[in-house]
Amino acid sequence: MSAVASLRRVGLPRLVVHLSVLVICIIWLIPTLGILVTSFRDAGQIAASGWWTAFTGAAETSAARLGDPSTAKQNGATYVITGSVFEGGKGGAVRAFGTRVAAPTEFAVGKAADLGDGETLTINEDGSYTYSKNAPFEGRGKRVYLSVATPPSFTTENYRTVLTSQGIGQSFVNSLTVAVPATIIPILIAAFAAYALSWMEFPGRALIIALVVGLIVVPLQMSLIPLLKMYNEIGNFFGVPSRSYAGIWLAHSAFGMPLAIYLLRNYIAGLPREIIESARVDGASDFEIFVKIILPLSFPALASFSIFQFLWTWNDLLVAMVFLGTGKDQLVLTGALNALLGSMGGKWEILTASAFITIVVPIIVFFALQRYLVRGLLAGSVKGG
């Protein structure tokens, strides 16, 4: 039994704990849920009502014109116009109606409303109405305002739009093109370095380890200006574009390198000495030991780091903005989303669908490989860094 479990006996009543965790979970989930629900809603409904009403249907205000006085039928002393307010328009369920735009819920449905001047109007939920007056109708058909409950309407149209016409599909491929090589290349390089720093004796080893630990926290901002200058010079010198995929792969590899070496060294240095020494006695070279023994044994540490690096490169905006172009074939998802925020301001059907496409890959990776992620976090922070 853990320490926390024994605290259980003396702590707060159980129910309070359950409820507070439930509330916290709901608060933490609601923001993401909001864009998920919104991304599947019809554009018109998004602008007309909050996403939390998406499943109950929302009340929208609409206007309709009653039948022309020429269609009135005389019935004794009264003149009557009948019809439906939904004629030639979309359907729905009328919740209330009114004669002024400021008060579309003045009268309840199904009951005769006295409009003055001897006029009464009854509108039923299905839209049919009876409009009567004790004298002939004059002028044009009367304008009424309705509060109409529209049924929930969900669509995948938003996703189709952003994937094709907004270039999010292309950016998705660009993001993959950046993230996958930028995850795999540094792991290989860091693993060899970590092995050398753990199991090989050479002068300056402690110094290099100290350097690596120090570099973990160096802010990216320190690197940007000189590297941008360097990239531009290399580009000019060789007559190639200064912003390229190769450039960003190397940049991401280098920026992830200190943490990669640190995490892998911690793990590899902890492997049992006997295994490595008996392999040496058997005449295996360091290269063979590394490939045949160290790599397979270090799988958990390699997995931890690759998840970190993948999430970091996929979610990165700054490095991509500096080292990668903003052209269609190079704009990554985060960059595209940032651009849409500027150009598509209030168009939430576009923004929410794009945002969800951006976050879906990391979320899948997260839930599938959470175990390794947690292990990596613990190795990276509890031990000392």
Partner 1 sequence: MISQIVSAVGVVIAGVFVCALYYWLSDKILQAVFPVPVDNVRAASVNLNRRATVRPWLFLGPALILLVVYLVYPVVATFILSFYDRSGGDFVGLANYRWAIQDAQFRQSIFNNILWLAVVPAACTFFGLVIAVLTDRIWWGNLAKSLIFMPMAISFVGASVIWKFIYEYRGGTETQIGLLNAVVQAIGGNPQVWISLPFWNNFFLMVILIWIQTGFAMVILSAALRGIPEETIEAAVIDGANGWQIFWKIMVPQIWGTIAVVWTTITILVLKVFDIVLTMTNGQWNTMVLANLMFDWMFRGGGDSGRSAVIALVIMAAVTPIMIWNIRQANKEMGGH
> Which 336-355 positions form the footprint of partner 1 (CB under 8 A)?
337-338, 341, 346, 348, 351-352, 354-355
Q: How far is the CB of 255 from partner 1 (least distance, A)?
A: 7
By CB under 8 A, name the one of 76, 77, 138, 217 that touches partner 1.
Answer: 217
By CB under 8 A, name the one of 96, 261, 324, 331 that touches partner 1.
Answer: 261
End-to-end CA gap in the chain: 29
Q: How far apart are CA 192 and CA 186, in angstroms?
A: 10
Strands (E), the chain: 58-65, 73-75, 78-84, 93-98, 107-108, 113-116, 119-123, 128-133, 143-150
Residue number with CB closer to partner 1 (77 or 281): 281
Q: Which residues pair with 113 in a beta bridge?
A: 121
Token pair recorded at residue 157? 């149209």
Side by side, the strands of the sheet bearing 78-84 are 73-75, 78-84, 128-133, 119-123, 113-116
By CB under 8 A, name the one of 18, 65, 73, 140 that touches partner 1.
Answer: 18
By CB under 8 A, name the one of 109, 197, 259, 289 that touches partner 1.
Answer: 197
Interaction pattern, residues 173-192, with partner 1; x per rule: CB under 8 A: xx-xx--xx--xx--xxx-x
Output the CA angle 139-143-146, nearest 5 degrees: 165
Interaction pattern, residues 136-175, with partner 1; x per rule: CB under 8 A: ---------------------------------xx--xx-
Footprint of partner 1 on 34-73 (CB under 8 A): 34-35, 38, 46-52
- Does the footprint of partner 1 cover residue 25 (CB under 8 A)? yes
CA atoms within 13 A on the CB side of 4: 0
**How far are the Cα atoms of 16, 87, 314 from residue 51, in angstroms, in the given order?**
30, 29, 28
DSSP state at residue 154: B
Residue number with CB closer to partner 1 (188 or 240): 188
Which range of residues in 6-14, 77-85, 118-126, 131-139 is near partner 1 by CB under 8 A?
Answer: 6-14
Footprint of partner 1 on 283-302 (CB under 8 A): 285-287, 290
- Does the footprint of partner 1 cover residue 281 (CB under 8 A)? no
Element (H, E) at 68: none
Footprint of partner 1 on 99-128 (CB under 8 A): none
By CB under 8 A, name the one of 88, 239, 272, 384 that touches partner 1.
Answer: 384
3 state SS of 144: strand
Which range of residues in 7-15, 71-79, 130-138, 271-279 is near partner 1 by CB under 8 A?
Answer: 7-15
Q: How far is the CB of 298 from partner 1 (least distance, A)?
A: 14
Q: How far apart are CA 252 and CA 173, in angstroms?
A: 18
Which range of residues in 72-80, 103-111, 150-158, 281-289 is near partner 1 by CB under 8 A?
Answer: 281-289
Q: How far apart are CA 291 and CA 295, in angstroms?
A: 6
